[in-house]
Amino acid sequence: MNIIRIKLASFDKLSNAIVPTPVHELPVLSEIAGCRIFCKRDDLTGFGFGGNKARKLDYLVADALQQGCDTLLAVGAAQSNFCRMAASYAAVHGMKAHLVLGGDKPERPTGNLLLDHLLGAVCHHIGSEDWEDYESHSSELERNLTELGRKVYRLPMGGSTPIGSLGYTEAMAEIIDDQKRLGVTFDTIVFASSSAGTQAGLVVGKMIAEWPGTVLGISVARKTAIHTDNVFKLACETGRLLNVSIDRTAVCVDDNFIGDGYAARTDSCDEAVEFFARRCGIFLDYVYSGKAAAGLLEYCRSGKFRNAGAVLFIHTGGNIELFA
Ligand SMILES: Cc1ncc(COP(=O)(O)O)c(C=O)c1O
C-alpha cells in the first residue's frame, strides 16, 4: 500500500467518496508546452457538482458524524463553492446545513445559491462581508441552534483545517497512482490556491512520499510571502497529525495571476476560461480555476515546462459560478 494511505488509515473518512477522479491529457496544451500536460478532474468529485471541497469534506463530515453532530454550519460568500458542497454533504448524510452568507439576500438566487436552496440548506444572509460579522453571526447562530437541541459542527472557512487538508494529502497518493497508471512522471502539479488547505494537503503528501516534483499553487488572493506562510503553517499543523515534518522549500506559490485582488477579473483569466472551453471542452470559473489556468497557459507558452516529463493541472471546480 502507498505510504501515504498507511499514514492516513487511522483517520475517519466517509466511505461514499467518489474518487479517484479522472485524469486525461490536454493535447492542445501539450503541443504548446512541448511536454505532456494532463488535467485531473477534481471538478468531478461526486456529490453537489463536485470540486476540491469534496475531498476536505470527506474527512470533516466523517469527524462531525463521529462526534454525533446533526448540523453543519458553514460560512462564505453568497456564491461560495464550499457552502454549496457543505449543503450537499449535509443532504447526503441526513444532516441540516446552515449557511452564513455574506452580503444581502439577492432577489433571485442563482448559481451556487440556487443549489443551496435546492439542497435544503437554511441560508442566513448577513448583509455584510466583514470577517468579524461572519464570526459574530456564526457564533450567535451556533448558540441558538444548540439551545434548540441541535449538535452543531462548525466548519472552518473553505474547510482548511488540518483535518480538512488530509483530503489533499490523500489526493497526493492518488496522483502517485495516476503516474503509474499513465506511465508518466509529473514534474509539477498546478492548481488554484486560496485558503491553503488544498496546497497544504498536497505538500504533506509530497513530504510523506518523498515525491520529488513541485507543488505549485497559483495564488488567487494573497501575495507570495503571506500565502507561503499560510500554506506552510497549515502544512506543519497537518503534518503534526501524521508525524511528518515539513520543509518550507516544498511550498511554491506564484502570485502573478491575481490581478487587482480576489475575484477581480483579469484578461489572462478571461482568456484561459475561453481557451479551456473552446479548445478543451472544459468549463472553468473566473475566481479560482480560471486564474490557475492563466498561470498554466503562461508557463506553457513561455517554455517553462519544455524540459518537464509531464505536468498535472488540477481542475479544482468552481464552474457553477458561470451561472451566477
Ligand atoms: C473552485 C475552487 N478552487 C480552488 C480553491 C482553493 O482551494 P483552497 O481554499 O484549499 O486553497 C477554492 C476555494 O475556495 C475553490 O472554491
User: What is the CATH topology of the domain spanning 3-52+161-323?
Assistant: Rossmann fold (3.40.50)
pLDDT of residue 192: 98
Is pLDDT above 90 for 16? no
Domain ranges of the chain: 3-52+161-323, 70-150
Q: Which atom number of ligand 1 is nearest to the Cα of residue 194? A: 11
pLDDT of residue 184: 97
Exactly one of 10, 15, 30, 80 is catalytic; name it.
80
pLDDT of residue 233: 98
Give the pocket of ligand 1 (CB within 6 Å): 51-52, 81-82, 158, 160, 192-199, 288-289, 316-318
Average pLDDT over residues 224-228: 98
In three-state secondary structure terms, 38 is: strand
* Strand arrangement of the beta sheet that strand 252-254 belongs to: 23-25, 36-41, 310-315, 186-193, 214-219, 252-254
Cis bond before residue 109 (omega within 30° of 0):
no
Among 287, 291, 288, 292, CA closest to 311: 292
* Residue 86 exposure: Cα atoms within 13 Å on the Cβ side: 33
Average pLDDT over residues 140-160: 97
Ligand 1 centroid – CA 149 distance (Å): 33
pLDDT of residue 103: 96
Q: Which residues pair with 190 in a beta bridge?
A: 216, 313
Average pLDDT over residues 194-208: 98
CA 279 to chain centre: 24
Q: Model confidence over 157-188: pLDDT tens digits?
A: 999 999 999 999 999 999 999 999 999 999 99
Average pLDDT value for the chain: 97
pLDDT of residue 1: 74
Q: Which atom number of ligand 1 is nearest to the Cα of residue 193? A: 11
Average pLDDT over residues 70-95: 97
Q: How do 71-76 and 96-101 pair as beta strands?
A: parallel
Q: Model confidence over 250-284: pLDDT tens digits?
A: 999 999 999 999 999 999 999 999 999 999 999 99
Give the ranges where the chain is alpha helix by DSSP (H): 3-8, 27-33, 53-66, 81-92, 111-118, 131-147, 162-182, 197-209, 224-242, 267-275, 289-301
Is pLDDT above 90 for 319? yes
Ligand 1 centroid – CA 45 distance (Å): 14
Name the CATH architecture for the domain at 70-150.
3-Layer(aba) Sandwich (3.40)
pLDDT of residue 158: 93
pLDDT of residue 15: 87
Q: Model confidence over 23-69: pLDDT tens digits?
A: 999 999 999 999 999 999 999 998 999 999 999 999 999 999 999 99
Which amino acid is residue 109, in one-letter code?
P
CA–CA dist 42, 112 (Å, integer): 17
Average pLDDT over residues 211-221: 98
Ligand 1 centroid – CA 80 distance (Å): 10
Active site residue 15: no
Asked, colleague to colleague, whether 3-52+161-323 and 70-150 share their fold, the answer is: yes
